[in-house]
Amino acid sequence: MAQAAPESDGLGNPNPDVPVMQRFEFPPVLREHHTQFLCNIPVENHTSERISIIEIFRSCGCTHAKLDKHEIDVGESTQLRLAVNIGGRTGAQKFTVRLLDKSGRARSYTAETYIHEPAAFSPDDDLSFGMVDPNARAEKVVNFDLCGVAESDLSGEVRVGVEGQGVSASVGMPAVDRLSPELVRGRRPVYLRLTAGSEPGPHSATVVMGYGPDGRRNESRTAVTWHVRPLIGVVPPLVFLSRTEPDGQELTREVVMSRLDGQPLSIVGVSAPDPLRVEVRSGLTVGEQRLIVRAKAVELIRSFTGQLRVTTNHPIQPVVVVQVAAVIAR
């Protein structure tokens, strides 16, 4: 643990080098085996006067703090005992307690730890491929961690599967290391391979890690995401149709589409859900195409969402999806 600096210059004056907050690091814990995080922090009196603690302030309601004694003589120390309800906490954690003495001076103590889940991808790894080109192929390696009290807790098969399209995965052999006397971790590399496809916009698939005696007893599910770079501009990106009353008036919006490489754009066809009707027109400038989207208010339910699938002449990204939404007051 970190050692506290003297609180005074030996004459009873506060030491300006003493930090407002003192930090203490504690070994990591496994959430499955602990409902509370327990630790003791030394509170020392390096001043020339007795310290009388009159109040204890906690950083959150889940933290219980207790001093062994509230009167600390010169050169003596006591223990600040913390008990924190873990609940659903995972990852790096900080719990702060402030002690206020009779002179009005406050002393802050922060306990830091890491709460591990029994099974999870490493928080240091990013499961997003970010922005990619249409039809791009990419690979990345992330780590899947199994944690237990003993190495026997890590035994059993680990399997990987993927729900959704665009991603495949395989798992490698584990590397086992002990994080503390009461915590051991088996870290397995997971190899993710992406085939992006051509449709622009956000995409995702779910990686399913099965683990246990047969590789199936338990599951951990995590999303892998990527965003396909658009090669065709769409303005506006969301077509919003709205009226305050369902009076039968026709609602109309215009969508302008163009290739971002400056080449002429042709629209081969448009697929639209009922009750939307779409008309294709030439744009105001060379290479642009316009979509006129229409619907009658009486045909729309109170809220409506749908997609236009526009097929174009673009050799790499032939299909563009345009989102449509409407809200009609009843």
Q: Which CATH number is 203's domain given?
A: 2.60.40
Give the mean pLDDT of 126-148. Answer: 94
Q: Determine, yes or no, domain membership for 1.
A: no
Q: Any bridge partners for residue 240, and if so which? A: 325
Cα–chain center distance at 276: 37
User: Based on the structure, what is the number of domains in the chain?
Assistant: 3
Cβ density class 1-12: b for 16+ within 10 Å, e for less: eeebeebbeeee
φ, ψ for residue 18 (rounded to 5)?
-75, 125
195 and 128 part of one domain: yes
Q: Which domain holds residue 76?
A: 21-116
Max mean pLDDT range (46-50, 66-70, 213-217): 66-70
Give 5-32 pLDDT, tens digit per residue. Answer: 444 444 344 554 444 578 999 999 988 7
Same-domain check for residues 280 and 211: no
**34 and 74, same domain (yes or no):** yes
**Does 130 share its domain with 213?**
yes
Question: Are 115 and 74 contacting, i.e. CB atoms less than 8 angstroms apart?
Answer: no
Residue 104 sits in the same domain as residue 184: no
Q: How far apart are CA 41 and CA 1, in angstroms?
A: 9
Share of the chain above pLDDT 90, in %: 56
Together in a domain, 126 and 223: yes
Share of the chain above pLDDT 70, in %: 89
| Shared-domain flag, residues 153 and 191 | yes
Check: pTM over 0.85? Answer yes or no: no
- Give the domain CATH number at 85: 2.60.40.10
pLDDT digits (tens, 9 = 90+) for 282-310: 877 777 899 999 887 776 666 788 999 99
3 domain-assigned: no
Residues 129 and 224 placed together within one structural domain of the fold: yes
Query: Do 222 and 136 fall within a single domain?
Result: yes
Q: How far apart are CA 37 and CA 29, in angstroms?
A: 8
- How many beta carbons lie within 10 A of that of residue 301, not counting itself? 11
Residue where a domain stops, chosen among 84, 116, 148: 116
Nearest to 65 by CA among 21, 115, 100: 100
Q: Is residue 4 part of a domain?
A: no
pLDDT value of position 326: 83
Q: What is the pLDDT of residue 212?
A: 78
Verify that 142 and 207 share a domain, yes or no: yes
- Residue 138 belongs to a domain: yes
Mean pLDDT of the chain: 86
Answer yes or no: do 220 and 124 share one domain.
Answer: yes
Q: Tens digit of pLDDT for each residue in 33-42?
A: 778 899 999 9
Rg of the chain on CA atoms, in Å: 31
Cβ atoms of residues 268 and 313 within 8 Å: yes
Domain final residue, candidates 116, 149, 175: 116
Q: Please state the length of the chain.
A: 330
Q: Distances from the Cα of 15 to the Cαs of 5, 20, 21, 219, in angstroms?
A: 9, 11, 13, 53
